[in-house]
């Protein structure tokens, strides 16, 4: 087994460290931590118990992963932080484990979590998500694939951010952000379709036109949300992205950004 562990790091005997892992000076790896192959742990990183990290992740200096949730009712019961593969988690980022016994905070794969971002207990983040510096997710936030969240943005607990949406910097998000939308402000409002993000993600012109038509019905037609959804659903064929947009809104418990 090939490992590159600085002698000044502190690693608990129950931690499981895969092959080709690098651990920098003064890092602390706690009990029952699992670290996947090829992951690089920077200096002064703290990874607390019951945390698992996948392969080829990069953890920046001073990040704290798997700490006890900031929840007044947490009683110390075992709970988990599960992080996938190929994530870049930068300096001083904080990600906490679940507040509930046997619960999990979940981070998918190929995400970029920038310096000093905060992900609270029981959040679920998908894949290819970007959280810019000082973005903060409260507990139970759900972030679907491909979302971009600007810096110094606060997201209220239990809010959902739909796939390929983009949230502008310094925003306050207190309601669900529908998929594919561009939102910003305090409180946040929808300003249009995330056309650039969709193009970069490979959505062809036909799909973009269908999503733009759905956006106009939702936000520019004068119809209320229920009427707009009913109109969209009467179309003879709904593409998968439009169907997902409809389903996301119908399942919203907090309402969607205006």
Q: In whole angstroms, what is the distance from residue 197 CA to residue 246 CA?
A: 19
Nearest of 105, 141, 108, 148 to residue 127 by alpha carbon: 108
Catalytic residue among 54, 84, 86, 121: 121
Catalytic residue among 60, 62, 108, 122: 122
- Cis check: omega of the bond before 117, within 30 degrees of 0: no
Nearest of 127, 151, 157, 171 to residue 181 by alpha carbon: 171
Phi-psi domain of 49 (left: phi exceeds 0; alpha: psi -120 through 50; beta: other): beta
Q: What tokens does 202 get?
A: 């490979």
| Parallel, antiparallel or unpaired: strands 118-119 and 94-96 | parallel
DSSP 42-97: -TT-EE-TTEEE-TT-EE-TT-EEEEPPS-TT--S---EEEE-SS-EE-TT-EEE-
Catalytic residue among 139, 146, 162, 197: 139
Q: In whole angstroms, what is the distance from residue 47 CA to residue 241 CA?
A: 37
Residue 244 falls in the annotated catalytic set = no
Residue 6 falls in the annotated catalytic set = no
Residue 71 falls in the annotated catalytic set = no
209 DSSP assignment: H
Q: Do 199 and 212 meet the contact criterion of CB atoms below 8 Å apart?
A: no
The set of catalytic residues is 121-122, 139
């Amino acid at each position: 087994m090939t490992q590159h562990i600085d002698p000044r790091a502190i690693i608990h005997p129950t931690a499981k460290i895969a092959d080709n892992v690098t651990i920098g000076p003064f890092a602390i790896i706690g009990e029952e931590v699992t670290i996947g192959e090829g992951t690089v742990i920077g200096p002064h990183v703290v990874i607390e118990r019951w945390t698992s990290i996948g392969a080829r992740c990069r953890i920046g200096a001073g990040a704290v992963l798997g700490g006890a949730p900031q929840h007044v009712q947490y009683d110390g019961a075992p709970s988990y932080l599960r992080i996938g593969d190929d994530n870049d988690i930068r300096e001083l980022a904080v990600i906490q484990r679940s507040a509930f016994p046997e619960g999990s905070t979940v981070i998918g794969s190929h995400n970029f979590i920038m310096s000093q971002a905060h992900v609270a207990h029981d959040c679920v983040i998908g894949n290819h998500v970007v959280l810019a510096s000082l973005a903060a997710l409260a507990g139970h936030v759900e972030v679907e694939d491909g979302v971009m969240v600007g810096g110094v943005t606060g997201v209220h607990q239990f809010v959902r951010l739909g796939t390929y949406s983009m949230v502008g910097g310094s925003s306050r998000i207190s309601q669900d952000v529908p998929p594919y939308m561009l939102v910003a402000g305090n409180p946040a409002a929808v300003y249009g379709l995330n056309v650039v993000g969709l193009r970069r993600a490979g959505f062809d012109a036909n799909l973009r036109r269908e999503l733009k038509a759905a956006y106009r019905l939702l936000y520019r037609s004068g119809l209320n949300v229920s009427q707009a959804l009913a109109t969209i659903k009467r179309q003879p064929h709904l593409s998968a992205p439009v169907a997902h947009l409809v389903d996301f809104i119908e399942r919203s418990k907090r309402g969607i950004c205006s």
